[in-house]
């Protein structure tokens, strides 16, 4: 699966952002091979000339054969942020970057570059510490404009794995209080998109992660008595559809 690139063991995240390894379907940039969340968020929310984040719904991102460097870098940043959030959610100090997985490398200690956990002995880290770090990270992504980019990637995923990692990232981001309500109020298309993915999407890449995200949103809809998204789900007949797909 790995393209030609010698001396893989010498790869460093200090390398130039222009250096990348080509794979069959994608690329990996050497400066993104880490869990420095501030750097990854900056790449995810890279600004255009208009000082707004680069979105995949723009005409410059069209198809698999013509993906801009900015979009490729945003994809890898999203992947690694998703891996980081997954580790935090499960109280783990170890995770694999995109490049780790491609090169069959073992998981690395996320604390080397992710500073919100500190450098304490892993036995001293409580569940509260991991949860607070996850919530802080999710808010940093949201407040920097990262959600808009992730949503745009979902609408024009280019490759199935991109949509899956976006859903994985959103599963964690939407577990944070208030963020999920903001999404429901400002992104009304999102519920319909989730239901569509559950109804006709691929089992592993679409349906399972979409159900995970929808599950979190339904809790908020019911607990906050949000009438409009509730009525939207009823019109979409999502309960019957979920039961049908899971049979």
Q: Please list the rounded mean pLDDT of every run of 10 residues in the chain (247 residues).
A: 36 56 79 95 84 72 64 92 94 94 93 81 74 93 91 81 86 86 86 83 74 87 91 86 73
Contact call for residues 74 and 153 (beta carbons, < 8 A): yes
Residue 182 belongs to a domain? no
Q: Tell me the pLDDT tens digit for each residue of 21-36.
A: 877 667 789 999 999 9
What's the pLDDT tens digit per position in 91-114?
999 999 999 999 999 999 999 899
Shared-domain flag, residues 35 and 142: yes
Residues forming a β-bridge with 106: none
Same structural domain, 172 and 204: no
Residue ranges with strand state E in the chain? 20-22, 27-29, 94-95, 108-109
DSSP state of 120: -
Q: State which of 115, 147, 176 marks the end of a domain.
A: 176
Cβ contacts of 188 within 8 Å, gap of 6 or more:
228, 229, 232
Structural domain harbouring 230: 191-247
- Are 122 and 218 part of one and the same domain? no
Same domain, 129 and 48: yes
User: 170 and 205: one domain?
Assistant: no
Looking at 176, 199, 221, the residue that finishes a domain is 176
- The number of distinct structural domains making up the chain is 2
pLDDT on residue 11: 41
Closest C-alpha to 240, from 192, 198, 194: 198
Among 100, 104, 102, 71, smallest CA distance to 84 is for 100
185 located within any domain = no
- Is 94 in the same domain as 198? no
Q: Are residues 165 and 247 in the same domain?
A: no
3-state secondary structure at position 109: strand
Judgement on whether residues 22 and 132 belong to the same structural domain of the protein: yes
- In whole angstroms, give the CA distance from residue 204 to residue 208: 6
Angle 79-83-110 from CA coordinates, rounded to 5° = 120
- Are residues 210 and 143 part of one domain? no
Q: Give per-residue pLDDT as tens, 135-150.
A: 999 999 999 999 989 9
The pLDDT, as a whole number, for residue 66 is 61
Asked if residue 211 and residue 112 are part of one domain, the reply reads: no
* Same domain, residue pair 198 and 92: no
- For β-strands 20-22 and 27-29, DSSP reports them as antiparallel
Do 197 and 206 form a contact (C-beta atoms < 8 A)? yes
Residue 122 confidence (pLDDT) = 56
Quote the pTM value: 0.81
Residue at a domain's end among 176, 201, 224: 176
Residues in the chain: 247
DSSP 8-state secondary structure symbol assigned to residue 170: H
Query: Are 134 and 208 in the same domain?
Result: no
């Amino acid at each position: 699966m790995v393209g030609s690139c010698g001396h893989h063991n010498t790869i460093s995240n200090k390398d130039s952002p222009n250096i990348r390894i080509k794979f069959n379907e994608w690329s990996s940039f050497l400066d993104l091979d880490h869990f420095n969340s501030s750097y990854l968020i900056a790449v995810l929310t890279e600004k255009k000339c208009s000082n707004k984040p680069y979105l995949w719904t723009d005409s410059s991102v069209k198809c698999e054969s013509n993906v801009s460097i900015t979009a490729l870098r945003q994809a890898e940043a999203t992947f690694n942020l998703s891996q980081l959030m997954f580790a935090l959610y499960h109280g783990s100090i170890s995770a694999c970057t995109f490049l780790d997985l491609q090169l069959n490398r073992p998981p690395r200690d996320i604390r080397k570059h992710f500073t919100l956990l500190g450098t304490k002995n892993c036995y001293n880290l409580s569940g509260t510490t991991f949860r607070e770090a996850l919530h802080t990270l999710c808010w940093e992504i949201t407040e920097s404009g990262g959600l808009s980019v992730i949503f745009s990637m979902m609408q024009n995923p280019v490759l199935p794995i991109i949509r899956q990692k976006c859903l994985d990232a959103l599963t964690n981001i939407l577990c944070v209080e208030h963020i999920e309500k903001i999404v429901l109020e400002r992104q009304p298309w999102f519920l319909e998109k989730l239901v569509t993915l559950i109804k006709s999407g691929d089992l592993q890449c679409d349906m399972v992660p979409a159900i995970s995200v929808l599950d979190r949103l339904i809790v908020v809809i019911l607990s906050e008595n949000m009438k409009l998204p509730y009525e939207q789900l009823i019109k979409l007949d999502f309960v019957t559809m979920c039961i049908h797909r899971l049979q």
